[in-house]
Amino acid sequence: MTIKDQVKKIGKEISPALVEIRRYIHQNPELSFQEFETTQYLRSHLQKIDVTVLDNYAETGVVGLLTGNRSGPVVALRGDIDALPLKEKTGLPFSSVKDGVMHACGHDSHATVIIGAAMILSKLRDRLPGTVKFILQPGEEKNPGGASIMVKNSVLKNPAVDVIFGLHSDPRFRVGEIGYKDGQMMAEPDEFRITIKGKGGHASTPHLTVDPVVIAAEVVMALQKIPSRLMAPYDQVVVTVSKIAGGSTTNVIPDSVKLLGTVRTFDHELAKKIAHFMRQIIRGICSAYGAEFDFEFIYGYPVVVNDKSATQFLVQIAGEYLGENNCYELERPSFGGEDFAFYLQRVKGSFFRLGTGNPEKGITAYWHNSEYTIDEDALAVGAGLMAYLAYQYLAGQKK
């Protein structure tokens, strides 16, 4: 029996266990950097299969280390574990038991896939020509990102990682399909916070106030001109004001209004230029009306840039495992952000999309949606693919 056949056989055998693991994590979600129970649960599963558990890379999260019977390279497989502050509306029997907290971005499945890959490879450890690190990472959804913390604490060292692979569930692809992209795959997701400080008063006498609501409205519209009038047509830029907060009732003009939003680019220098333009625009508008302002621009994760050789390897191995016709090259990079970028700044690797959608089952909701879920058949597929990727890389890169 070939390694591929063995991996698929084991994947099929452990599929019910993976469903159980995913449902437990889904039902008991924890927000970014609060994943204490999730960490203990995942640690226990690593210990059950005699995978060495490594801690102290972050306050939450856990790393497993599986060493084969021969020395060789080190492959890292990463899955994030945090949930979102969202009220679940899936109606699933294993829906979140925590009001206002939900796994709406598939991190429950990512963690399960990594545990599944560990389960598969642990059964093949006698034939494993190298070492695999299973990185179960906290806090992907929240700046500064769990990846940055783990990298600073040397998760890619001792032993040094040669290549890293990560995945994200994607309802646009069916089970058994993947999406990949060489080079730039995801954007730099920056954030901004603005407070317009005016002078409140009675709504019937706006001339006696410095109305922050009107000023904020002008700021919002002016910021939208940054991509269209201050950036070149070929620059890929998004500027979005996603929250406006101010005022309390109909007859009072408030003292201040707060604006929150995001900027997305594929060039950090461009992001710095946008931050400069934003400050100039806000200052100019506030000055015209006699208002003051606070402005904070928070730089987010770097751009996700997949390594060419690692992506070529991914496509080759995924083609063997899933079939070449089930591997789709993404047409363009996503404006979404992902802290997997921090790993890719240190070692070569590739981040890809794992198909989890199933229109026939009504599984089509996108990420960060209160009705988001996955086709659980994807768990064994993802675990098998990650395990096969790791094994074949080790087998082909013997030191």
Say which CATH class 3-186+303-396 falls into: alpha beta
CB count within 10 Å of CB 91 equals 8
Relative to beta strand 327-329, strand 183-186 is unpaired
Q: 333: which residues sit within 8 A by CB, 6+ positions away?
A: 181, 184, 185, 186, 187, 236, 266
Mean residue pLDDT across the chain: 97
d(CA 67, CA 47) in angstroms, rounded, equals: 14
Relative to beta strand 62-67, strand 52-54 is antiparallel
Q: Do residues 108 and 37 lie in contact, with contact meaning Cβ atoms separated by under 8 Å?
A: no
Structure-token match 């302002």, residue found: 293
d(CA 310, CA 315) in angstroms, rounded, equals: 9
Q: E-strand spans in the chain?
A: 52-54, 62-67, 74-80, 131-137, 163-174, 178-180, 183-186, 188-197, 201-202, 238-245, 252-253, 256-265, 292-298, 304-306, 327-329, 348-357
Structure-token match 């496509």, residue found: 315
d(CA 28, CA 83) in angstroms, rounded, equals: 9
- For 96-122, the pLDDT digits (tens) are 999 999 999 999 999 999 999 999 999
**pLDDT over 90 (residue 380):** yes
| Residue boundaries of the structural domains of the chain | 3-186+303-396, 188-298
Residue 33 class from Cβ within 10 Å (0-12 exposed, 13-18 middle, 19+ buried)? middle
**pLDDT over 60 (residue 213):** yes
- For 41-54, the pLDDT digits (tens) are 999 999 999 999 99
DSSP class of residue 208 equals: G
CB count within 10 Å of CB 333 equals 18
d(CA 301, CA 308) in angstroms, rounded, equals: 21
pLDDT-derived band at 399, boundaries 50, 70, 90? very low
Cis-peptide, bond into residue 144, ω within 30° of zero? yes
What amino acid occupies position 362? Answer: G
Q: Give this prediction's pTM.
A: 0.94
CATH 3.30.70.360 fits 188-298, yes or no: yes
- For 231-279, the pLDDT digits (tens) are 999 999 999 999 999 999 999 999 999 999 999 999 999 999 999 999 9
Mutual angle of helices 3-27 and 107-122, in 10-degree steps: 140
d(CA 314, CA 165) in angstroms, rounded, equals: 9
Structure-token match 């751009």, residue found: 303
d(CA 296, CA 385) in angstroms, rounded, equals: 42
Mutual angle of helices 212-223 and 268-289, in 10-degree steps: 150
Domains 3-186+303-396 and 188-298 share a fold: no
